[in-house]
Copies of this chain bind each other. A is one copy, B any other.
């Protein structure tokens, strides 16, 4: 196993000058498997691999890795601040507000650190105008929510017969969040697939994986890479459930 290639990938991906010592079985496997193999693979861009990884580390709550990967995303230039902040909101919907709160704190710290490292002053985050919140007329908002739900999920929207479906799903998640610019539909799908995989609620897992593939927004090759990246960062047990969902979705793809 060529440690040189792996070590170089570590420094590129993690935006560090030197790779950490590979002095333990875990450290050695980090260098050789995680970076030497998984991060080095073609088939999924580095930016897309970061979306999967950021979702996993943020959901895992491990404090060090969250700071390191947020820093790496910013310092490498692979992901700009605005996209990271949109990611926080999408992640909040799929993994819950408390973890998103912690993630946003990490982004604030690492945004500051990146500028200090460059000897620059840290630009503040601008206030957002209210016209970014979408229509305030509920009939119109819910109508657009229904359309977005169908477009994303490739199935009919639910009725508005519960708070979760009415205020939540149609009024907010598809009525607003999925429509926000700053993250592409495709990127939102990547974050969502990783999120439903770490949750493994069976129906949302199959629904979102199927929609991602059947829409054509993600290819089978890209999805297969997402499975491996996810398995490395959230474990091969949940990785297996995601792998199965991908195979099921691919087998049922029309045409």
Which A residues form the contact surface with B (CB < 8 A)?
1, 23-30, 32-34, 37-38, 41, 43, 56-57, 60-66, 85-86, 88-89, 92-102, 104-105, 124-128, 130, 132-133, 135-139, 141-142, 159-169, 171-173, 176-177, 180, 182, 195-196, 199-205, 224-225, 227-228, 231-241, 243-244, 246-247
**Is B225's CB under 8 angstroms from A163's CB?**
yes
Kindly report how many copies of this chain are found in the complex they form together.
3
Identify 30 residue pairs between A and B in the complex whose beta-carbon atoms are under 8 Å apart, listed by A's number.
A1-B136, A23-B127, A25-B43, A26-B224, A26-B240, A29-B177, A33-B176, A60-B200, A62-B101, A65-B102, A65-B237, A89-B162, A92-B168, A93-B235, A94-B235, A94-B236, A98-B233, A100-B168, A128-B166, A136-B137, A162-B227, A162-B246, A164-B231, A164-B239, A164-B240, A173-B236, A196-B237, A201-B237, A204-B237, A234-B237
**Which of B24, B43, B232 is the one whose CB lies under 8 Å from A88?**
B24
